[in-house]
Structure 1
Amino acid sequence: MRLTRWTTDRMFVSYSQYYLQGMEFLDVYGDSDTVERIFAGNSLAAGGPEHLTVRAGTHTGWISLTTEQRVDAPPTVDEGWETVVEVSVFSSSGMLRLFQWGGEVVDEAGNFATAGPGWYRVRAHTRGRDSGDADGAEEHLLISWPAPPQADVVHRADDTFARSHYDPQRPAGLPVDPDDPASFLDLK
């Protein structure tokens, strides 16, 4: 069951990134290698306590983005998306907001930590990532729901960036333990 849905065709990305961040991300947690884990992992998203980084094909410009906060997992993966991955994110503050690169929050997208503090699963979808920098040609969908932590799942990796960086023979990325934020170092 879906709680809220929000869509825009004017989500600004820079350095090919946008984020979900919680209130304690910069004060309590840090993760200096999230982008490296995207390149060496599922090719689309990586997270840790209080944050998730998503990799767009557009370096600097506008993408279309739909967000959905749910109480349970979506039933299926829509075949219309080129790359689809799932990652686990822990919210210690009970607040995960959408941020543009540079720190501007997108309040209209709502809170992705709908059940308060705890573990969430985020399914990130993209299509048109190969068309990056052609305003509006790239589309993303982020769906979140409360769920126990589990390894990353790659449902599909079928754009040029994904085919260049995702290796199905590598072990799946593991959730970053909120009690040991440095645990992401073990994921390399």
Structure 2
Amino acid sequence: MARTPIPGTRDNILSAASDLFYRHGVRAVGMAQIIEAAGCGKGLLYRHFPSKAHLAAAYLSLVRARRDRAIAAALDSAADPAGQLIALVTEVADVVRSAEYRGCAFRNYLTEFPGDDDEPGRVARAYLHDTRAQVDRLVAELGGSPKDADRIWLIIGGLHGGPADQAHVAVEWVTELVRAH
């Protein structure tokens, strides 16, 4: 007789995997670790996530949903493209300064699996592409050039790899750039 699935099992597995993947990297975490952290059986994990790639794609999709909400809130907090660009960079700077920050989940994944064209890689690339498109759109609305968008995108990228105690510098630079327009 088949057991009735417990509500929330999929979310519990995804939560455990997400924590492990973010702290240690997708490559370093084995399915046995996820089974142990989630407190589930192997069959149950594979019923919800047929492979590690499926689980990694779900993890990155979950992170994307969170990031999309945070970015939307930041953009909604400002009335014009200049303010929105500053709010966007400020939001990223705040994330980078948090004690839990272990790098951008999308960039981390693509660093671990640079040549893979799998579902998790597509999720990561889509997020970065769409975020860059937001920057491009805001810079264009501001009357800036593609070179200005490149500069802001490089500043955002630098936030993810730079020292957290210097995050305020990124906000200052973007403020200077957008105020010049």
Normalising to structure 2: TM-score of the pair?
Answer: 0.26
- Determine which structure has the larger strand proportion and give its number: 1
Larger Rg: 2
Greater RCO between the two (CA within 8 Å, min separation 6)? 1
- Determine which structure has the larger helix proportion and give its number: 2
Normalising to structure 1: TM-score of the pair?
Answer: 0.25
